[in-house]
A = this chain, B = another copy of it.
């Protein structure tokens, strides 16, 4: 198989990301979001919000990182943030999936994308920290704009939101966390005031 056929084979394989269903709702609440359209939305977040990163970032790298960040889910599915799944097991499965999938590509392309995927997972570089922040901002806003979303479904508290989203978002973009925190606080304030006595 020549390089082009390897690449087309990979592009055929990752079509399945469109069938991986996440917990987050679409904003019109017609259904849950899938990981392919989520990846598109995050790439748009990076393109538009680049100036709100705390560090100096290369937005083109961040976009590429976000385009590929969920591709392992083709093999292992999505792990919801509120699922409490063992993160060590999940990390191992995802690492194996990344090796298999990016291994379908010709070299050096496969190794380059595998390294970019690991960089995202490790969340050490400024690019990865910003990418990780956006990967929390988007589902947070989906919950806020749909009156609760996965928070309501999983009985998540404001304190859990501040911990599960706030740490990661504030690390990559304090400006975005400022807006997100306010929206989350307003959401939970409304919830508690509407609870029947």
Which residues of A are interface residues toward B (Cβ below 8 A)? 4-5, 7-8, 10-12, 14-19, 26-28, 30, 33-34, 36-37, 39-41, 43-45, 47-49, 52, 60, 63-64, 67-68, 105, 109, 138, 141-142, 145, 175-176, 179
Complex Cα–Cα for A48 and B39 (A): 16
Is the beta-carbon distance between B12 and A48 smaller than 8 angstroms?
no
A sample of 8 cross-chain residue pairs with beta-carbon separation below 8 angstroms, ordered by A number, consists of A11-B41, A12-B141, A18-B41, A19-B26, A36-B37, A43-B63, A60-B60, A60-B63
Say whether, besides A36-B37, A40-B67, A48 and B7 are in contact (CB < 8 Å): yes
Q: How many copies does the complex hold?
A: 2
Shortest A178–chain B CB gap in Å is 9
